[in-house]
Every structure is written in structure tokens, then in C-alpha cells.
């Protein structure tokens, strides 16, 4: 969830170039026999390694100022001297090259992320073992990832992959039960067709400071399996909020048009507050139907009963028994400068969601009331 910047468009020519190099490996990691609707989940080795190095490089930098020393070394305490050398040199490269870049807006980081996702089934990235596995990444990055790979595979990947798959198992029944209806509803609200292809979701141990983010062209979601904000029924809201980034152009354009016509400055991130509000309101009745967590009526949300699933976070358990609390409320987003947005969304956007006013009138009223 990027809170303070518009979505980034990836340069088409570069994307096309990297797409042509792709081995088209799109493994479905969910164990259910029938494919899930709407989303396609992946737990990929290279992308998880990349995000782990990125996160540790950033933590290491801040730990030199005294913070997060434990988090930096977590899971990496028993390295042999050779492993430690390989890992530290990878961290040094990431600190120098990528730690200052934003995963969610840097074109370079987005292209690397997409490419590592596409090559997830490859044993290497240089194409040495298999020609089609030449990912076309910068040579130093390829070499760094390949030398850090055995260390990651031994010490962290089993745990990360297990957590990713647990998260996928927990969220899959929610997507199966509610995904199509939610996608139709959101497409109708945003007056934009839902993407025809299933949306790729890369599940990772770390997925930016916000716990999830989305990149466009192609539309892809990255979500952290272990972030407390993404657990239980709330995971469904996070997924659909993220996916809504891909169909938000019409509402963004309408807001901008109304502002221009009224000669008003464009309210910063109003469109994003609207996305949060809308997903929360669309999910809320599904969750509210489920006052009894054991109920599994169609259209209701309940966490997976899989015993290997992690226990839902406390907020999830309470939201299921006492009414669903949307993400933006739970995380206090409206209290951090969006108070006015909540007011106009409740007053003018909600009637549109209820079918009482049309899209253009709702947007016009919101903008004129700000
Ligand atoms: Zn967002």
C-alpha cells in the first residue's frame, strides 16, 4: 500500500524487453485442485531473496545508528565463514546500490522485482545452467544473487517459503468464496473492467514498509506473509485494495477533472483514500455476515480452518466477532491528515456505493465539499 505517491507506470519498452527474456514460468503455488479465481499466488525463491537482502541492507544501515541489530541478524547466526563472506558481500552490494531506492516507485526496483518473479523456477539467473534462465539483469546483481542464493536457501528460505505457503493456504478459501463477487462489484464501482487475466500476487517475507504494494503495467501485487496487517480476513481487504490500484484510473481522472473545472488544487491522495474506503466498505458486509466464525455460508468471510495456518491476528479475531474494522480505520490512516477525506467519502461517496447517486455526481460533490 503506497500511501503518498501516484501509481508508477513502468516504461513499456523496457518491460517488453524483459518480458521477451522471460521463460514464462508461472507456477501456481496454491495446492487446491481447481485454479483460484481473480488471483494467482506465488512464493518465489529469487524475489524473496531480493527482498530479504534489500530489507537487511536497509536495517543494517539503520543499525549502524544503533537500531534493529537483532532483526538484521535474525536467522543468520550460524553461517560458516564462507557463507558469512558471501552474505556480507551481497549485503554490501545492496546497501550501496539499492538500499536508498524505494521498492514501490523506483522503476529499476520494479523491473528487477518483475523479472525475478518471472524467473522464479530457474536455478540460476545467468543462464549458465539453462539458456532460457538468462534473466538479463545487470551482471553484478546476477552474480550477487547467485552467490547469496545457497546461503539463503540453507538458512532462511525454508522458513520464508513455509510462511508464504501457509498464508496462501489461509487466504485461498476466502478468495475462492468471495473473489469473483468482489471483483465484479469493484469493477462496477470504478466503472472499469476487472483485468481478464488473474492478477499475479507475489507472496514474500518482506514487502515494503507498508506490508503490501502494487506495481502497474503489468499489474502485480506483492504482499508480506508475515506482516500483522495482512492476516486473517483482513488479508482479503489488502488483496482487493492492492488490486484496485489497477482499475483506479477512471476515478482518479474524474477527481482531477472536477478539480480543474472548479479551479481547485487536486486534493493529495484523495483517490487513494477513496480506494481504502471503498474496499473496506465492500468487504465489511461480507465480514459482518459472519458473526459466528464457524459459519461458512456463501458470501461470508471466515478464516481458513487449516490447522497449519497461523492463528489470525488479534484484530482479525475481534473484527469477526464484533463487526469488521476496515484497514484505514484500523491503521489510523484517516487520523493522519485524511480526516476531511473520511467526511466527504462518508457523505458523498457512500450514497454512490449505496446506489442512490451516480458516479459523476458523487465525485463532483466530494470535490466541491473539500
Ligand atoms: Zn494503496
> How much distance in Å is there from the Cα of 294 to the middle of ligand 1?
31
Place of cell 538458512: 155
On whether the CB atoms of residues 46 and 120 are closer than 8 A, the answer is yes
On whether the CB atoms of residues 199 and 38 are closer than 8 A, the answer is yes
Cα distance from N-terminal residue to C-terminal residue, the chain: 24
- Global pTM reads 0.83
> How much distance in Å is there from the Cα of 77 to the middle of ligand 1?
35
Query: Nearest-5° angle of CA 283, CA 287, CA 291?
Result: 165
**What residues contact 322, with CB distance under 8 A and at least 6 apart?**
none
Place of cell 477512471: 250
The torsion angle over the Cα atoms of residues 262, 263, 268 and 272, rounded to 10 degrees, is 30
> How much distance in Å is there from the Cα of 326 to the middle of ligand 1?
13
Q: Which three cell numbers stand for residue 5?
A: 505517491
> How much distance in Å is there from the Cα of 81 to the middle of ligand 1?
42
**What residues contact 167, with CB distance under 8 A and at least 6 apart?**
203, 223, 225, 226, 230, 231, 235, 310
**pLDDT score for 222:** 98
**Which of 118, 117, 139 lies closest to 128, judged by CA?**
139
Q: Which three cell numbers stand for residue 82?
A: 564462507
> How much distance in Å is there from the Cα of 209 to the middle of ligand 1?
12
Report the relative pairing of strands 39-42 and 212-215 from DSSP bridges. unpaired
H/E stretch holding 224: strand 220-224
**pLDDT score for 304:** 41
> How much distance in Å is there from the Cα of 125 to the middle of ligand 1?
31
Task: Give the C-alpha separation, 315 to 302, whole Å.
Answer: 14
> How much distance in Å is there from the Cα of 248 to the middle of ligand 1?
10
**Which of 189, 211, 187 lies closest to 199, judged by CA?**
187
How far from 159 is each of 162, 165, 168, 205, CA to CA, in Å?
5, 10, 14, 9
Task: Give the C-alpha separation, 215 to 239, whole Å.
Answer: 13
Q: Would you mind telling me the total number of residues written for the chain in this entry?
A: 370
**pLDDT score for 310:** 38
Q: What is the chain's pLDDT, residue by residue, as a tens digit (370 residues)?
A: 544 333 344 333 334 444 444 554 444 555 546 899 999 999 999 999 999 999 999 998 887 655 455 555 667 888 999 999 999 999 999 999 999 999 999 999 999 999 999 999 999 999 999 999 999 999 999 999 999 999 999 999 999 999 999 999 999 999 999 999 999 999 999 999 999 999 999 999 999 999 999 999 999 999 999 999 999 889 999 999 999 999 999 999 999 999 999 999 999 999 999 999 999 999 988 876 654 444 434 344 544 433 333 333 333 433 443 489 999 999 999 999 999 999 999 999 999 999 999 999 999 999 999 9
Number of CB atoms found within 10 A of residue 42's CB: 25
Helix extents (H) in the chain: 12-21, 45-63, 69-73, 81-97, 107-118, 139-155, 157-190, 234-244, 249-261, 270-288, 314-322, 327-330, 339-344, 350-353, 359-369
- Going across the sheet that includes 212-215, the strands are 39-42, 199-204, 220-224, 212-215
**pLDDT score for 362:** 98
> How much distance in Å is there from the Cα of 236 to the middle of ligand 1?
14
> How much distance in Å is there from the Cα of 96 to the middle of ligand 1?
28
> How much distance in Å is there from the Cα of 23 to the middle of ligand 1?
30
> How much distance in Å is there from the Cα of 289 to the middle of ligand 1?
26
**pLDDT score for 296:** 39
> How much distance in Å is there from the Cα of 205 to the middle of ligand 1?
19
> How much distance in Å is there from the Cα of 270 to the middle of ligand 1?
11
**pLDDT score for 60:** 86
Amino acid at each position: 500500500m503506497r500511501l503518498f505517491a501516484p501509481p508508477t507506470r513502468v516504461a513499456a519498452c523496457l518491460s517488453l524487453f524483459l518480458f521477451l527474456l522471460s521463460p514464462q514460468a508461472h507456477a501456481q503455488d496454491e495446492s487446491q485442485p481447481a485454479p483460484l479465481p481473480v488471483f494467482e499466488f506465488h512464493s518465489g525463491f529469487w524475489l524473496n531473496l531480493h527482498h530479504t537482502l534489500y530489507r537487511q541492507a536497509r536495517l543494517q544501515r539503520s543499525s549502524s545508528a544503533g537500531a534493529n541489530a537483532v532483526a538484521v541478524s535474525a536467522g543468520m547466526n550460524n553461517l560458516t565463514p564462507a557463507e558469512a563472506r558471501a552474505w556480507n558481500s551481497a549485503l554490501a552490494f545492496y546497501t550501496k546500490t539499492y538500499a536508498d531506492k524505494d521498492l514501490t516507485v523506483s522503476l529499476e526496483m520494479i523491473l528487477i522485482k518483475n523479472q525475478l518473479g518471472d524467473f522464479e523456477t530457474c536455478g540460476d539467473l545467468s543462464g549458465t545452467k539453462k539458456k532460457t534462465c538468462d534473466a538479463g539483469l545487470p551482471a553484478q546483481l546476477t552474480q550477487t544473487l547467485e552467490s547469496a542464493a545457497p546461503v539463503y536457501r540453507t538458512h532462511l528460505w525454508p522458513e520464508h517459503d513455509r510462511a508464504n505457503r501457509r498464508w496462501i493456504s489461509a487466504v485461498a478459501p476466502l478468495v475462492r468464496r468471495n473473489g469473483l463477487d468482489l471483483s465484479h462489484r469493484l469493477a462496477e464501482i470504478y466503472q472499469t473492467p476487472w483485468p481478464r487475466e488473474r492478477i499475479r500476487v507475489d507472496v514474500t517475507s518482506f514487502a515494503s514498509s507498508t506490508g503490501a504494494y502494487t506495481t502497474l503495467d503489468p499489474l502485480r501485487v506483492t504482499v508480506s506473509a508475515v506482516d500483522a496487517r495482512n492476516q486473517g480476513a483482513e488479508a482479503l481487504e489488502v488483496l482487493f485494495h492492492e488490486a484496485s490500484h489497477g482499475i483506479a484510473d477512471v476515478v482518479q481522472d474524474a477527481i482531477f477533472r472536477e478539480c480543474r473545472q472548479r479551479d481547485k488544487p487536486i486534493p493529495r491522495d484523495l483517490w487513494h483514500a477513496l480506494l481504502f474506503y471503498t474496499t473496506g466498505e465492500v468487504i465489511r458486509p461480507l465480514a459482518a455476515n459472519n458473526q459466528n466464525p464457524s459459519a461458512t455460508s456463501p458470501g461470508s468471510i471466515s478464516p481458513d480452518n487449516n490447522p497449519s495456518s497461523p492463528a489470525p491476528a488479534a484484530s482479525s479475531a475481534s473484527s469477526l466477532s464484533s463487526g469488521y474494522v476496515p484497514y484505514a480505520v484500523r491503521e489510523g490512516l484517516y487520523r493522519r491528515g485524511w480526516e476531511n477525506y473520511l467526511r466527504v467519502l462518508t457523505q458523498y461517496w457512500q450514497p454512490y456505493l449505496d446506489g442512490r447517486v451516480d458516479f459523476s455526481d458523487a465525485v463532483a460533490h466530494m470535490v466541491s465539499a473539500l
